[in-house]
Amino acid sequence: MGQAVHELKASLPPEWIGVAEEVHQILRDLPPEGDKRLVAMSRQFPPSSWGQTGHPLSPVDKLRAMIVRLAENWAKFRVFDWQEGVPWTNNPTEQVIGKMKMRARTVRGYKNWSGMASGLMVAGVGVA
């Protein structure tokens, strides 16, 4: 979602870039009150032709739709806060891949399968 906001900033009028940057900051921080901030932001948009036939969505309309979708699904973005056992990153696989990449960079790759298995063991991944 952060990448989508970043890409959308390139096509937004200058007066809306600050709003996109605030959305990006909310996504980085994931504050508990983020949904309330997003709803407040969505109310500052002007009326549009959103949903009328023959009118493509403007970049500002796309930003509004993104903000509304984020506000509606905010609990899913913050699942780590209310569901026990869900880590902040919610992605242990990516953490292990990162460790493997660091090992690969420092040893210039794995020389054989046993070396790769040893590297995975160091990274905390069991290999059968």
Instruction: End-to-end CA distance of the chain: give it in Å, rounded.
Output: 36
- Name residues whose C-beta falls within 8 Å of residue 120's C-beta, 6 or more positions apart in sequence: 100, 126, 127
pLDDT value at 38 more than 60: yes
Predicted local confidence at residue 105, as pLDDT? 59
Banded model confidence at residue 6, pLDDT cuts 50, 70, 90: confident
Q: What is the pLDDT of residues 66-102, one digit of tens each?
A: 999 999 988 887 766 666 665 555 566 666 776 666 6
Q: Are 83 and 75 in contact (CB under 8 A)?
A: no
Predicted local confidence at residue 30, as pLDDT? 82
Q: 93 or 44, which is more confident?
A: 44
Predicted local confidence at residue 19, as pLDDT? 93
pTM: 0.59
Q: 122 or 91, which is more confident?
A: 122
Banded model confidence at residue 15, pLDDT cuts 50, 70, 90: very high
Q: Cβ–Cβ contacts within 10 Å for residue 54, how many?
A: 5
